[in-house]
Amino acid sequence: MTRTALETTTGTAALLPQMFTRYGADVNGALKSSLSSEHNFVYDTLRYAMGWTDSKGNAVAASTGKALRPILCLFACDAVGGSINKAIPAAMALEFIHNFSLIHDDIQDKDQTRRGRPTLWVVWGESKAIVAGNVLRVVADMSLEQLVQQDVVVPDALTVIEILTEAYLQMIEGQYLDLEFESRFDIELDDYLGMISRKTGALIRCALEMGAVLGTPDKRTVAAFREFGRSLGFVFQIRDDVLGVWGEPEKTGKPVGADIRRKKNSFPVVHAMNYAKGTDARRLQEVYRKEVLEDSDVSDILTVMERLGTQKQAQGLAEEHCEGALRSLESVELSPEARSDIESLAEFLLIRDH
Amino acid sequence: MTRTALETTTGTAALLPQMFTRYGADVNGALKSSLSSEHNFVYDTLRYAMGWTDSKGNAVAASTGKALRPILCLFACDAVGGSINKAIPAAMALEFIHNFSLIHDDIQDKDQTRRGRPTLWVVWGESKAIVAGNVLRVVADMSLEQLVQQDVVVPDALTVIEILTEAYLQMIEGQYLDLEFESRFDIELDDYLGMISRKTGALIRCALEMGAVLGTPDKRTVAAFREFGRSLGFVFQIRDDVLGVWGEPEKTGKPVGADIRRKKNSFPVVHAMNYAKGTDARRLQEVYRKEVLEDSDVSDILTVMERLGTQKQAQGLAEEHCEGALRSLESVELSPEARSDIESLAEFLLIRDH
């Protein structure tokens, strides 16, 4: 992707690439049918967490995420010439695991709302939220049992199970590292990037790798999609970090400097901690030692970041990874449509505004 | 097993059946090597949780459980004529899953100690304990990937994965039900038994079923071991409930009436709630509505239970399931040694004192 291509699309930053609508219905249909057949009351909490029902179990206008991971999985399978039906079980597993991790994350961060609604632990209490998250994690595993019913050969099914298990382990190791980094001032940028490549990157990478495995026996193609996913994971998370500090409140639903105020480990903070000198460095440490941050603290940090060019550095790194992502797939034979999808996707992740 | 056999062994109630020493070293060796190769610091918390190290990561005299589930798994495989090496990965997965569930249970119950040491969440905080539990759960999954290395054929490996996933789901559904039952006075005995058959029973049943699957292709034998495990799960939990109320403090490490004091859902309480009448019923409800129970509350409940013959009823039900367990295996061809092991095991679970 050239810089020009990037700049010309900046005006449509908020538009979801077409692949989201192309595969969205398949993904949502499969997810819903998987949880709706269960009448056990644990599943009320899960349907709520997925955004389909209110806390009484009544259907509501969906309040779901973008289903990025399952969409990526179906796309990769489709792009390499596979049948997307084969990738549906893996796509479901990804979305369930993602939502499981949100349920547990919200307990850990004591977050009260998600997608505009009270979090699961706020409604049902921490104990049930821990267990409900664990149930969703098993529902994910059970989705994979459908691989064989979709005519996936057993060795491929085992490979997919291994890829997902490995990625899932990396994801939780990343969560643990993230907790370990809390209230530390000595995190190097590379440590931070290593953490997000696990915490967020692993599942995105594995979405593309599993989709490719299920679509083609060609190991080189699979490796290229894996590499594509690895870079895309960085683009996704670094852009997320940029939005968490400089996103427009009416788009992100969060106040300016939201991630600074909640003292979230993110690229901008780690960048500022690493490069601030003198009074700026002292002010940073002083602010990050406080229990609760005031408006003036947040605006001081924003000023330090402006002096350091933190936003430009972050967005620049995301662009590098975006270009790396596209390079990974250069040598893979793909239809012009697939290649155009890939460019739209990478650009979207780089410039999205929410 | 005849009642006479039972009575004659009562004097040796605390002796672990010989199978625990026979398979114990294999189990512990496999578990330790699986976690010791990992240097990532999450694993410090896990080695602590398994009872092998202190909170600084230094090796300590082991403070582990009995490893009941992995022992059962190896035994079943051995008893039906299989090679126990094939069952080692499944045995490891069972013990890791069991310990994962203890880590999360301790957070939910706010339990401060386990096996005489501070619980993981007390040492590392709730957030890290949630994540560490999740990591142990994946370590369990990854153990199963070793099945194929142990020459287990792929269809058997997939069957084992499905059996464990299903049992694991039942276990957490049981945990959710248990939370749902808290502070309710209308739990029927059958509801309670349904809950424990999931919460505790599922993993015990699955230990024996997986062991049998890995040892023999004969489906009738596998079904018999599954049924044996189902009954044994009831024996285990009902005896556990009896010990939680009437166990000898110097054996169990808990004060008399421990489970009453902490208002734990258990067979004796549900029995008393179902059968107490008049003033007894009112006193029960009054006590169970209190935040904190006094000594006099505990002793009043014990008096009510004595009037109702609760202990005898509980132990009687455990005996029925014990006899049912042995009947399940009557038609299976087993060596005299295996049959004797089975009787020792069933009796041990029925009369153990800690």
Report the SS3 class of residue B187.
coil
Mean pLDDT of the A213-238 span? 98
User: What does the pLDDT read at residue B38?
Assistant: 61
Tell me the chain B residues in contact with residue A130 when contact means C-beta distances shorter than 8 Å.
Answer: 104, 107-108, 130
More confident residue, A14 or B25: B25
Task: Please tell me the distance in Å from A143's CA to the nearest CA on chain B.
Answer: 11
Report yes or no: A37 at the B interface, CB cutoff 8 Å. no
Task: Please judge whether B158 and A158 are an interchain contact, meaning their C-beta atoms are less than 8 angstroms apart.
Answer: yes
Q: Looking at the predicted structure, is the pLDDT value of residue B15 above 80?
A: no
User: What does the pLDDT read at residue A116?
Assistant: 85
Q: Which two tokens stand for residue A189?
A: 């940028």
Mean pLDDT of the A304-327 span? 97
Tell me the chain A residues in contact with residue B35 when contact means C-beta distances shorter than 8 Å.
Answer: none
Distance, CA of A156 to CA of A178 (rounded, Å): 33
Residue A69 near residue A95 (C-beta atoms within 8 A) = yes
Pairing mode, strands B113-114 and A113-114: unpaired
More confident residue, A54 or B64: A54
Task: Please judge whether A168 and B142 are an interchain contact, meaning their C-beta atoms are less than 8 angstroms apart.
Answer: no
Mean pLDDT of the A177-201 span? 93
Helix, strand and coil percent figures for chain B, each rounded to 5? 75, 0, 25
More confident residue, B169 or B40: B169
pLDDT class of B265 with cuts at 50, 70, 90: confident
Percent of chain A with pLDDT over 90: 73
Report yes or no: A184 at the B interface, CB cutoff 8 Å. no
Q: Whole-number mean pLDDT of chain A?
A: 91
Q: Of the ranges A254-268, B29-43, B185-199, which is most confident?
A: B185-199
Tell me the chain B residues in contact with residue A110 when contact means C-beta distances shorter than 8 Å.
Answer: none
Going by the DSSP 8-state scheme, the letter that residue B53 receives in this structure is: B
Q: Looking at the predicted structure, is the pLDDT value of residue B206 above 60?
A: yes
Among B131, B169, B180, the residue with its CB nearest the CB of A138 is B169
Mean pLDDT of the A30-38 span? 79
Mean pLDDT of the B108-122 span? 92
Distances (CA, A) of A69 to A50, A82, A93, B52, B224: 14, 17, 10, 38, 42
Report yes or no: B42 at the A interface, CB cutoff 8 Å. yes
User: What does the pLDDT read at residue A97?
Assistant: 97
Q: Looking at the predicted structure, is the pLDDT value of residue B7 above 90?
A: no
Report yes or no: B107 at the A interface, CB cutoff 8 Å. yes
Residue A41 burial (CB count, 10 A) = 12
- What digits encode the pLDDT tens for the residues B143-189? 998 998 899 998 899 999 999 999 999 999 999 999 999 878 889 99
Contacting residues for B118 by C-beta, under 8 A, at least 6 apart: B55, B112
HSE toward the beta carbon, residue A191, CA cutoff 13 A: 14
pLDDT class of A354 with cuts at 50, 70, 90: confident
How many residues does the structure list for chain A?
A: 354
User: Which domains are seen in chain B, by residue range?
Assistant: 3-9+16-112+119-351 (1.10.600.10)
Report yes or no: B135 at the A interface, CB cutoff 8 Å. yes
Q: Which two tokens stand for residue B349?
A: 């679970």
Report the SS3 class of residue A10.
helix
Distance, CA of A267 to CA of A272 (rounded, Å): 9
Distances (CA, A) of B354 to B101, B248, B253, B261: 20, 8, 8, 18
Strand-pairing partners, residue A43, are none
Give phi and psi for B153, each to the nearest 5: -70, 150
Q: Looking at the predicted structure, is the pLDDT value of residue B41 above 90?
A: no
Q: Which of A158, A238, A156, A165 is nearest to A201 (CA)?
A: A238
Q: Looking at the predicted structure, is the pLDDT value of residue B5 above 70?
A: no
- What digits encode the pLDDT tens for the residues B213-223? 999 999 999 99
Compute, in degrees rounded to 10, the torsion defined by CA atoms B238, B239, B241, B242.
120
Q: Which two tokens stand for residue B301?
A: 């409940």
pLDDT class of A82 with cuts at 50, 70, 90: very high
Among B128, B134, B168, the residue with its CB nearest the CB of A138 is B168
Q: Looking at the predicted structure, is the pLDDT value of residue A29 above 90?
A: no
Whole-prediction pTM? 0.89
Q: Whole-number mean pLDDT of chain B?
A: 91
Q: Looking at the predicted structure, is the pLDDT value of residue B8 above 60?
A: no
pLDDT class of B4 with cuts at 50, 70, 90: very low
Burial of B2 (0-12, 13-18, 19+ CB in 10 A): exposed
Residue A204 near residue A236 (C-beta atoms within 8 A) = yes
- Least confident stretch, A28-42, A164-178, B161-175, B250-264: A28-42
Task: Please judge whether B169 and A41 are an interchain contact, meaning their C-beta atoms are less than 8 angstroms apart.
Answer: no
pLDDT class of A253 with cuts at 50, 70, 90: confident
Tell me the chain B residues in contact with residue A147 when contact means C-beta distances shorter than 8 Å.
Answer: none
Report yes or no: A128 at the B interface, CB cutoff 8 Å. yes
Q: Looking at the predicted structure, is the pLDDT value of residue A39 above 80?
A: no
User: What does the pLDDT read at residue B88?
Assistant: 96
User: What does the pLDDT read at residue A12?
Assistant: 43
Give phi and psi for A118, each to the nearest 5: -55, 140
Distance, CA of B271 to CA of B277 (rounded, Å): 12
pLDDT class of A14 with cuts at 50, 70, 90: low
- Least confident stretch, A2-6, A72-76, A288-292, A350-354: A2-6
pLDDT class of B37 with cuts at 50, 70, 90: low
Distance, CA of A102 to CA of A274 (rounded, Å): 29
pLDDT class of B48 with cuts at 50, 70, 90: very high
Report yes or no: B141 at the A interface, CB cutoff 8 Å. yes
Q: Looking at the predicted structure, is the pLDDT value of residue A115 above 60?
A: yes
ipTM at complex level: 0.88
Distance, CA of A244 to CA of A256 (rounded, Å): 8
Task: Please judge whether B137 and A132 are an interchain contact, meaning their C-beta atoms are less than 8 angstroms apart.
Answer: no
pLDDT class of A185 with cuts at 50, 70, 90: confident
Give phi and psi for B226, each to the nearest 5: -60, -45
Report yes or no: A110 at the B interface, CB cutoff 8 Å. no
Tell me the chain B residues in contact with residue A43 when contact means C-beta distances shorter than 8 Å.
Answer: none
User: What does the pLDDT read at residue A38?
Assistant: 61
Q: Looking at the predicted structure, is the pLDDT value of residue A9 above 60?
A: no
Mean pLDDT of the A80-99 span? 96
Q: Looking at the predicted structure, is the pLDDT value of residue B29 above 90?
A: no
Which long-range contacts (C-beta less than 8 Å, at least 24 apart) are formed by A21-27? A23/A70, A23/A71, A23/A74, A23/A75, A23/A78, A23/A84, A24/A67, A24/A71, A26/A74, A26/A84, A26/A88, A27/A67, A27/A70, A27/A71, A27/A74, A27/A88, A27/A91, A27/A92, A27/A95
Tell me the chain A residues in contact with residue B138 when contact means C-beta distances shorter than 8 Å.
Answer: 165, 168-169, 172
Contacting residues for A35 by C-beta, under 8 A, at least 6 apart: A43, A46, A47, A50, A52, A139
Taking CA–CA distances from B129, the nearest residue in chain A reads: A176
User: What does the pLDDT read at residue B3?
Assistant: 38
User: What does the pLDDT read at residue A207?
Assistant: 98
Q: Looking at the predicted structure, is the pLDDT value of residue A2 above 60?
A: no
Residue A107 burial (CB count, 10 A) = 23
Mean pLDDT of the A263-275 span? 94
